[in-house]
Amino acid sequence: MSDVLSWLAGPLAVWLIVINLIAFALFGVDKRRAKRKAWRIRERTLLLAAALGGSLGALLGMLIFRHKTKHGKFMVGVPVLLAIHLALWFCLRFILPG
């Protein structure tokens, strides 16, 4: 099991960096579009980016751009996703390698 986790560590780290940057950028772009009353990014796309591992980027985007901070599903959902992602990381890092 430890060999599999070691093999996955590199690609997983790259994925997490990329998806967090994407999530952060999506929130910034959507905020800019909201100010300009332009075509918007769907809420489910923003939440999907967070759910796919970009929860930290999404939360930072929400706070830095002050975007979606009055929407319950974002103010509750994104931190819950982050807590789940951190719990998964903790399990993979400390519990499973055993």
**Which DSSP string corresponds to 35-71?**
HTT-----HHHHHHHIIIIIHHHHHHHHHHHT-STT-
> Domains in the chain: how many in total?
1
**Residue 98: what pLDDT?**
60
For 20, the domain range is: 2-95
- Please identify which residue in the block is written with the tokens 């996703």: 81
Question: What's the whole-model pTM score?
Answer: 0.91
Q: How many CA atoms lie within 13 A of 12 on its CB side?
A: 11
Per the CB < 8 A criterion, the answer to whether 79 and 59 are in contact is yes
**Residue 1: what pLDDT?**
57
pLDDT tens for the chain, 98 residues long, are 567 677 778 899 999 999 999 999 999 999 999 999 999 999 999 999 999 999 999 999 999 999 999 999 999 999 999 999 999 999 988 887 76
